[in-house]
Amino acid sequence: MFKSILNKFSKSQEVEPINLAGLNADMHSHLIPGIDDGAKTVEDSIELIRILHGLGYSKLVTTPHIMSDYFRNTPENINEGLALVRAALKTENIPVEISAAAEYYIDDGFIRKLEEEPLLTIGDNYLLTEVSYINPPDNVEQVFFRAMVLGYKPILAHPERYPFWYRTPEQYTRFYEMGVTLQLNMNSLAGYYGPDAKKIGEKLIDMGIIGALGTDMHHMKHAAAMQQVVKEKYLQKILDMPLLNREL
């Protein structure tokens, strides 16, 4: 299965496969079963975690989607699912530490939650967010600023996947200068999301403004792509830079 999927991805600029143990933690994945578009069953979760452990990870912060009109997850059902995964890991004797936060979609519901509810965060109050792939929210900078005022440290997930910013790279620099952590999806480096996302991902690494890496693991196709990512030259380049993953 892996071989047929891997043939879809670019194999240029490869190096010897990199063990990710030095990265310490993955901080973006969808491993809690049945609550978003990630793992469907506990068995799926364990299979994906086993693969991540084989790549070198010893710690995972899984981040289910929270979207007002689609994935209406709460801290309660996320933590219930986390308990199931932890129990299965113990049964399977897989030595991986797992905790949970969330990936918040910036919409009106998120803004209400930001003002009224405690949010699920990563490490030292880092808040993982994403925006629409079609149009950026007009107020995204104001939302990030408000989050910072409230004591959160915003992370923008997979900035290389938002095509509306490809022609305005100064927006990425703007976020970086504001103090927003830019989190690259590692599979972008293998061309999983297409050549444009790969090109922009590499450009952001060259600019030195990527502050975190995530697998964004949902399913076995993502796991297969990670087998290619660990051979990418640009992965080695970003691993030589300071990254939030090592602080978790």
Give me the mean pLDDT over the 234-243 stretch: 97
Overall average pLDDT of the 6-24 stretch:
74
The DSSP H or E segment spanning 237 is helix 233-239
Quote the pLDDT of residue 13: 62
Full set of structural domains in the chain with CATH: 2-247 (3.20.20.140)
- pLDDT exceeds 50 at position 233: yes
With bands split at pLDDT 50, 70 and 90, how would you rate the model's confidence at 44? very high
pLDDT per residue over 121-162, tens digit each? 999 999 999 999 998 888 999 999 999 999 999 999 999 999
- The whole-number pLDDT of residue 226 equals 97
Strands (E), the chain: 25-26, 59-62, 65-66, 97-100, 103-105, 126-130, 153-157, 181-185, 210-214
Residue 10 above 50 pLDDT? no
- Angle at which helix 75-92 crosses helix 42-55, to 10 degrees, equals 70
- Residue range 84-102: mean pLDDT, rounded: 98
How far apart are alpha carbons 22 and 242 in whole angstroms? 12
Residues 6 or more apart whose CB falls under 8 angstroms from that of 44 comprise: 33, 219
Distance of alpha carbon 178 from alpha carbon 154, whole angstroms: 10
- Separation of alpha carbons 2 and 142, rounded Å: 42
Please check whether residue 157 is in contact with residue 211, taking contact to mean a CB–CB distance below 8 angstroms: no
What span, in angstroms and rounded, lies between the C-alpha atoms of 27 and 62?
6
Closest CA to 137 of 103, 171, 184, 160: 171
User: Can you give the pLDDT at residue 14?
Assistant: 74
**Residue 209: count of CB within 10 angstroms of its CB:** 20
Of 60-64, 108-112, 148-152, 204-208, minimum mean pLDDT range: 108-112
> Which sign, positive or negative, has the C-alpha torsion 198, 9, 16, 214?
positive
Stretch 41-53: mean pLDDT = 98
